[in-house]
Amino acid sequence: MTGPPTYLDRILAAHRDAAAADRRTPASLAEAAEAADPPRGFAAGVRAVAETGDLAVIAEIKRRSPSKGDLDVDLDPGAVAAAYERGGAACLSVLTDAAFFGGSAADLRAARSASGLPALRKDFTVCAADVYDARAMGADAVLLIAAALSGAELRDLHALAVSLGMDVLVEVHDERELDEALRTGAAMIGVNQRDLVTFAVDTDRAVHLADLLPAGVIAVAESGVDGPASAARLAAAGYHAVLVGETLMRAADRAAAVAGLRRCAVPRP
């Protein structure tokens, strides 16, 4: 007997329903994607910071979340992005989900335009149209969540994103998902310490999986980074980057908060 729908169940159901109702043609989607400005190198941005010995910070712009409620619903995405850039962020992550996170494509466009940083479209990508839309709105990278996709979907969407010139952050939560990501050929893997079923954070998850990440893969720790001490622990475990949302969104001085995280030393990739 199954339990009540989880956060992830509800979010994915909404996105798959939207995908099923989408009547745009592949040709029109491809045309919009090809008209976007050339991608900035997202993975290259992470590597450039990591190679200095600092921890690369992927700084997130997020208005709200299902588990934490409102964070900064009236934020100016351009101003937030500029503050992150002043603090030394390597890249941006921008929530574009409207129903559950209050984000939009306009948020990504504004954040990217206000800074020189590459931007990840942070959303629940479930179909090819989502990948094309990411490129059309100017995203330099796309998030693929292994828990949300079949193995075939993960491989197909990964290949499509790469063909459009984007980098791909494949998000995993356990050994099985990590194996699937590696079989897909993922060059950048994010270990999310937040359980997408309960939304609880396990701060040991990323450390546990760190030794299983092969050399050459850009290792990103996601969720549960509440300050320099937790960032330093992840850096010591071998992560090149942290993706941080709530902590930065709640910071009184966002530029200083990014700078404090970046100063954690990491192994060179």
Q: What angle is formed at CA 132 by the lines to CA 186 and CA 124, rounded to 5 degrees?
A: 65
Q: Active-site residue among 62, 93, 115, 177?
A: 62
Distance (Å, whole) CA 39 – CA 135: 8
Assign domain 40-262 to its CATH superfamily: Aldolase class I (3.20.20.70)
Q: Active-site residue among 85, 171, 177, 180?
A: 171
Q: Is 246 a catalytic residue?
A: no
Q: Cα 23 from chain centroid?
A: 27
What is the DSSP secondary structure assignment for residue 53, as one 8-state letter?
T
What is the model's pLDDT at position 4?
Answer: 55
pLDDT above 90 as % of the chain? 82
Distance (Å, whole) CA 76 – CA 107: 8
Q: Cα 167 from chain centroid?
A: 11
Distance (Å, whole) CA 16 – CA 13: 5
Q: Is 31 a catalytic residue?
A: no
Tens of pLDDT, residue by residue over 84-110, are 999 999 999 999 999 999 999 999 999
Q: Active-site residue among 93, 115, 122, 230?
A: 122
Q: Is 153 a catalytic residue?
A: no
Q: Active-site residue among 85, 177, 180, 222?
A: 222
Q: Active-site residue among 65, 93, 115, 192?
A: 192
pTM metric for this prediction: 0.93
Q: Is 62 a catalytic residue?
A: yes
SS (H, E, C) 77-140: HHHHHHHHHHHCCCEEEEECCCCCCCCCHHHHHHHHHCCCCCEEEECCCCCHHHHHHHHHCCCC
**Confidence grade of residue 3 (pLDDT, cut at 50, 70, 90):** low
Q: Is 122 a catalytic residue?
A: yes
> Could you tell me if 227 and 242 are in contact, meaning their C-beta atoms sit under 8 angstroms apart?
no
Tens of pLDDT, residue by residue over 200-237, are 788 788 999 999 999 899 999 998 898 999 999 999 99
**pLDDT-wise least confident of 83-97, 186-200, 219-233, 255-269:** 255-269
